Amino acid sequence: MALLSAARRTGDAYERFSARKNAADVVVAGSQAFGFVGNIRLDLVKQLPDIRLSADAFAVLLFTGTTDTGTSFGPSDIFPVAAQSTAVGTSVEGWKLLAGRRADPKNTTEAVASFELAQRLHLKVGSTLKIHFFLKKSFPQVAAQLLTAFPQRLAGHNVGPTFKQLADGPKLAIHVVGIEASPLEFPPLLLDISPLLHLTPAFFHTYSSRLVGSQVSYIRLDDPNKIEPFKAEVERLAHGQPVSFISTGAIQTVKVQRGFRVETTALAIVGVLIALTFLVVAAQGLTRQALAEAGDHPTLRALGMGPRQLRAVTLVRCFAIALPAAAIACIIAVALSPHMLLGLARKADLHPGIHPDGLVFALGALATIAGITITGVVVGRLASRRALPVTGERDRPRRSLLAAVTRGVALPPATAVGMRFALRRDRSAPGVPIWTTVVGAALTVALLVGTWSFTASLRQLINTPHLYGWNWDLRVGAPALPDIGGVIVPALQKNADVSGLSAGTVTQALVHQQRIDLLTVQPIEGVVTPTFVAGRPPANSKEIALGARTMRSWNVKLDDRVTVRIGDASQPFRVVGRAVFPEFGDAGQLGTGAYVTLGGLDRLLHSLS
């Protein structure tokens, strides 16, 4: 009952958490002078209709640092975000503090870490992060030095200053004063977004104009179901330039719910298996007790009891066991309820502590009473028919079964004695054949083998990236970041260790009124594309490949035509392949997305009205 109650709590824990904590419907990155994430003016975005609330923040994009335990980190490890006001964490993307307290809004050196960041970097309340930032005014020179030295460094030459040496901004010791959970920060996180470190409004007002970073806006809509029209409006404001939607609430909910569903299923399966186990054990115990007491039936019959009265005795005894058992079970289930939730659900649970689930406990109590009562009825009828006195004599081992099992096998004495006792039938418990125990053991073994097989298959899938579409060792860059392919691609081409190389970009498109990530890849050396399970990769600007899940959801087949839209631009494409895409953008999920050539993307963008 405790496990099934926890499964019910887990099933809608994240949705309740998101609603209560005012989850953002979308987080949009703004434009800035040096061309990093985003190409949209946030002041224009905030003038769009249907916005209930928006809260601005500043995302720091370049820095280097170490933890107080000596672990080095950079932008691939932490995503520092400084809110302009205390609205972030309260009015939008509210926090559930798992440890510590909120940071002082007037203190530039206090911060609150997301629980995912705390787990990855082993942070706790009181940890200190020493961070060295980059100044915005000198970033063009810094970027030029890094890109100039890249080819030589890739060739193994130590040329020029390192990334750490180029950091020229303020050095701050940031103190972690709290660990929080908020809706958009539950795993799985986006591939290109690191776990968040929340800096204070004081940091925003002091450093946002001086450091390399980007303005971002957390937005809640009047109607979350209108997120797709809203995104289309934002894309129109960008006039064909890529727009960075850092995160979208509806997409994040689908991905997070998948993880919660696993926890729900695990709790339910274990709960049902334990319930069946206890039911079998209780039924066997009651059966043996009733049949053992059937030896008194001749005496009771001699005293005038009929068959119905004898069955009633058994039934009354079962009721006397069932009612206290159900009450004790409910009490224990209530006591265990705070400890049954698994990791993610525990963090999203808004009401930790004792949780009496009336429906589950009522059904559990009824099942307990009904199971014991039904057992009592069946056993009572069996006992009244087999009212044999207990003589104390026991049958000899069933030689035929024992001989079949041990034929041609030289067993040690201890094993032979154990099997002899296992296969012996006890007259004091007639009607309970030993084969039930054998069948139970066989089912247990089958369950364990099935579990081990599933675990092995899952481990093979996880350890074989090709099976989920990841056919490369390294991906450099992220959606809406500057194009540095002109420097990186020639250097990689000269590297003898590189056997395959492709260049491309990622954007979002609307197909069949559904937003998907659009992957654009141009092979340069070898073949570096997602895994294709049917058809082939696109070969020209009028062809497209779709994810396997995307094709199933749209009922699209090979050689069908689909219309792809970005903002006001739209073009038809012919479906030539079905691929298994890994997650590669905000809208992406395993098996969803689309893939076109660079020429296909250019044809689409050039059709903007």
Q: What is the pLDDT of residues 346-396, one digit of tens each?
A: 888 888 878 888 888 899 889 888 888 887 777 767 666 665 444 444 444
Residue 382 is classified by DSSP as H
Band the pLDDT of 36: cuts 50, 70, 90.
Answer: low
Model confidence at 177: pLDDT above 90: yes
Lowest-pLDDT range, 60-64, 276-280, 587-591? 587-591
Band the pLDDT of 478: cuts 50, 70, 90.
Answer: low
SS3 of 208-232: CCCECEEEEEEEEECCHHHHHHHHH
Q: Which of 46-50, 439-443, 449-453, 583-587 has the largest mean confidence?
A: 46-50
How many angstroms separate the Cα of 90 from the Cα of each of 27, 94, 95, 97, 224?
16, 4, 7, 11, 19
Lowest-pLDDT range, 174-178, 520-524, 563-567, 579-583? 579-583
Model confidence at 462: pLDDT above 90: no
Please list the residues that pair with 213 across neighbouring strands: 60
* pLDDT top residue among 468 and 245: 245
Model confidence at 154: pLDDT above 90: no
pLDDT digits (tens, 9 = 90+) for 291-333: 777 777 778 778 888 777 877 777 788 888 888 988 998 899 8
Model confidence at 231: pLDDT above 80: yes
217, two tokens: 């806006």
Q: What are phi and psi of 58, to 5 degrees?
A: -125, 125
Band the pLDDT of 495: cuts 50, 70, 90.
Answer: confident
How many angstroms separate the Cα of 166 from the Cα of each of 72, 141, 194, 267?
16, 10, 22, 51
Mean pLDDT of the chain: 81
118: Cα within 13 Å, side-chain hemisphere = 23
Burial of residue 244 (CB within 10 Å: 0-12, 13-18, 19+) is: buried
Q: CA–CA separation, 234 vs 44, rounded Å? A: 9
The per-residue pLDDT for 258 is 81
The per-residue pLDDT for 228 is 83
CB 306 within 8 A of CB 222: no
Strands 514-525 and 501-511: antiparallel
The per-residue pLDDT for 66 is 95
Model confidence at 81: pLDDT above 60: yes
The per-residue pLDDT for 389 is 47
Query: Percent of the chain at pLDDT above 70?
Result: 82
* pLDDT top residue among 122 and 413: 122
Query: Percent of the chain at pLDDT above 90?
Result: 25
In order, the DSSP letters of 62-118 are -EEEEETTS-EE-TTT-EEEEESSTTBTTTBS--EEEEE-PPPTT-TTEEEEEHHHH
Report cis status (omega within 30 of 0) of the bond before 538: no
Model confidence at 24: pLDDT above 70: yes
Model confidence at 200: pLDDT above 90: yes
* Crossing angle of helices 358-385 and 249-293, rounded to 10°: 30
The per-residue pLDDT for 257 is 86
Lowest-pLDDT range, 87-101, 381-395, 566-580? 381-395
Band the pLDDT of 33: cuts 50, 70, 90.
Answer: low
Q: CA–CA separation, 256 vs 264, rounded Å? A: 12
Q: CA–CA separation, 48 vs 223, rounded Å? A: 13
Helical ranges in 155-200 per DSSP H: 163-166
The per-residue pLDDT for 266 is 81
Mean pLDDT of 124-129: 95
The per-residue pLDDT for 219 is 94
The per-residue pLDDT for 201 is 96
* pLDDT top residue among 396 and 98: 98
